[in-house]
Chain A
Amino acid sequence: MRANPDARGLLQIAASTFRSDVLPHVAPEARFAALMVANALDIAEREFKGLDAAGHSMLDALALLYGEDADDALSGDELRRRVEALQHRLCIEIAAGDFDQDGQDVLMDSLEAIVEARLGISNPKALGQQ
């Protein structure tokens, strides 16, 4: 049975309360640790909210290379396993030299999109930098 609010809801309100009501009053010597706590809560919250969306973005990115394997209906562990399987396949092909001569532009686009999907969870601020 699912409690209400659920883990995601609790995390969300804990993170925003920490930022608004706790962080401004933290002593200077504890500020670094407090900022890390806020950062960790934010990452966890984004992961709760956006893991499947990130998985689909990664699948779309890999579809640039392996179109036939993209599948919008997947979610949760199934989605994760599909992404992992395709990433593994890509690693093997890269290491074998399949992209040494051709296909580097598509590969770079794909790799960037994969990393952008993961950055969206771990550090969205880094997405805008050049």
Chain B
Amino acid sequence: MHVVKASDQFPPSLLSGDNRVRLESWLATQAGASRVTVTEDGRLGGGAISLNLAVTLDIVGGPLAGRHACVLRAEGGGRISASIGKLREFVVLRAAFAAGVMAPEPLIACDDPAVLGHDFYIMRRVEGLGAGHAVTRSEAAQPELARELGRQLGLLHRITPETEGLDRLGDAPDCPAQETLAQYRRWFGDLARRDPVIAWGLRWMEVNAPLPGAVVLCHRDFRTGNYLVKDGALAAILDWEFAGFSDPMEDLGWFCARSWRFRRLDREAGGIADRADFYAGYEETSGRRVDPARVAYWETAAYLRWAAIAVEQGLRHSSDAEPSLELALTGRMLPEIEMDMLRHLRAIGGMAAAGMAPGAVEKVA
């Protein structure tokens, strides 16, 4: 999510004084080094919940000896319902990197509050352009970028709940659609009895819920704005803080949702190209076919998920938990997100008749 700019919120004290000394000492022990020097290179944006700090590590001795441009990603104060926490995020990133996904290389994680007071991890820094408006500014479509993103997502989706090292993520859902629906109901709470658009979205999800199929590791925020592009090519996929096991089509629906097309609503794959380019790349590496009906289902779910997050962000402001103009304005985005959902439902032929085969949103294909 690009809802909260870490740059607005990073506590200036995180690496000041004793914190830096403790971090350097802890890193030296972990890296088997004789000395580690941490230089702060500035705050980075991106990530709704996390605090991102660019750092350079100068490591003397040990297997990691040398100079490393890195990002220190710490748990912030503003964790929301969908977040998985920094240690689980580290585990996900490690699994993705090991599977060959273009994610920043994760180096080390820390759950000792005595070091910085928050859980955090350090990964290698990747340079590139990330902002959605900038990535979608190109006059020409970017089919190769979309195809590469599809390939990367396909690689990620080869990771299953049986993959080693993912125990921390908990059990995989038996039926992702039903579990997601139950989660959304909890998230929306009373709003589902006050806002008929939300009520309709939830009802639509319930009636059209597809039968359980494959369950894989999903990024759950795989979209334009959360990857870096350098010289027109993909450089890295970022923001793994919502990852979890789900229906693989969930990530495809999220990527194609109108909310993340920025300047180019007509380019349905993330504002950069046609769906066909993205889907083709996905099929090259995932070992499965894209199911457009399921993608359409999960695109509806995407609007509801984004709506729930926007509502929660607005409440973080309104409840005085975290007064912030950006959070307040995010809360006011609800009608926009709802309109996108209604346009999507119109485009796929509205509400399927009750009793239709589960998952059969035929008109979208």
Show the binding face of A for B, using Cβ within 8 Å: 32-33, 36-37, 39-40, 43, 84, 87-88, 90-92, 94-95, 97, 99-101, 104-105, 107-108, 110-112, 114-116, 118-119, 122-123, 126, 129-130
Contact = CB atoms under 8 A, between A and B. Distances in A.
Interface of B: 5, 8, 192-200, 202-203, 207, 265, 325-326, 328-329, 332-336, 338-339, 342-343, 345-346, 350-351, 353-354
Nearest to A111: B197
Contacts of B197: 111, 114-115
A91 to B, nearest CB: 4
Q: Please indicate which of the listed interface residues A33, A37, A100 has the most CB atoms of chain B within 10 Å of its own CB.
A: A100
A97 B203 CA distance: 8
If over half of A's interface residues share one DSSP class (helix, strand or loop), that class is named, otherwise mixed; here it is helix
Nearest to A104: B351
B328 to A, nearest CB: 7
Q: Lowest 7 A-B CB distances belong to which pairs?
A: A100-B354, A118-B335, A91-B199, A90-B196, A94-B199, A119-B335, A122-B332
Given A88-B194, A101-B354, A108-B346, A115 B199 contact: no
A119 B192 contact: no
B325 A100 contact: no
Contacts of A110: 196
Nearest to A61: B196
30 contacts: A32-B5, A33-B8, A43-B332, A87-B194, A90-B196, A90-B199, A91-B195, A91-B196, A91-B199, A94-B196, A95-B193, A97-B207, A100-B354, A101-B353, A105-B350, A107-B200, A108-B350, A111-B197, A114-B196, A114-B197, A115-B339, A115-B342, A116-B339, A118-B334, A118-B335, A119-B336, A122-B332, A122-B333, A126-B336, A130-B343
Contacts, number: 94
A104 B339 CA distance: 16
Contacts of B333: 122-123
A99 B352 CA distance: 11
A36 B329 contact: yes
A111 B200 contact: yes
